[in-house]
Amino acid sequence: MVINITNLTKNASTYEDGIVVFKVIKNHLDQGHTIRLSFSGIHNVPSSFVNSAVIQLLEHYSFDFIREHLFFINTTKQINDMIRRRFAFEISRDMSSKTRH
């Protein structure tokens, strides 16, 4: 299943835009669908959008589940780098907090 961000929100530039996208993604993941999230027509995104649209999925699913069921298509290097950095940061932070307890 392909989800086009531009069909859900005019911009991919705010936390609120990301929440709209997150709700759609989560609904489909809850149903066991594999998703291709299309950034067609979007050239860059801020971390606030990425955090609310995809990073908060970590509160509901394991990283491995997300990696197996959510793919990013029609992206740019900036978008790929932003998503990769945010996931890496959250995963390392989670691992760090587990080693302290």
When pLDDT is cut at 50, 70 and 90, the band that residue 51 belongs to is very high
Q: What are 3's strand-pairing partners?
A: 37
**Distance from the Cα of residue 32 to its chain's centroid:** 16
Q: Domain of 59?
A: 2-100
Phi, psi of 51 (to 5 degrees): -60, -50
- Distance from C-alpha of 96 to C-alpha of 49, rounded to nearest angstrom: 24
Count: domains in the chain: 1
Q: What is the pLDDT of residues 62-90, one digit of tens each?
A: 999 999 999 999 999 999 999 999 999 99
* 50 pLDDT more than 80: yes
pLDDT value of position 11: 87
pLDDT mean over 50-69: 96
Nearest in space to 79 (alpha carbons), one of 25, 18, 24: 18
Q: What is the pLDDT of residues 15-44, one digit of tens each?
A: 999 999 999 999 999 999 999 999 999 999
pLDDT value of position 93: 77
When pLDDT is cut at 50, 70 and 90, the band that residue 98 belongs to is low
Q: Is the dihedral of CA 55, 59, 61, 62 positive or negative?
A: positive
pLDDT mean over 39-54: 96
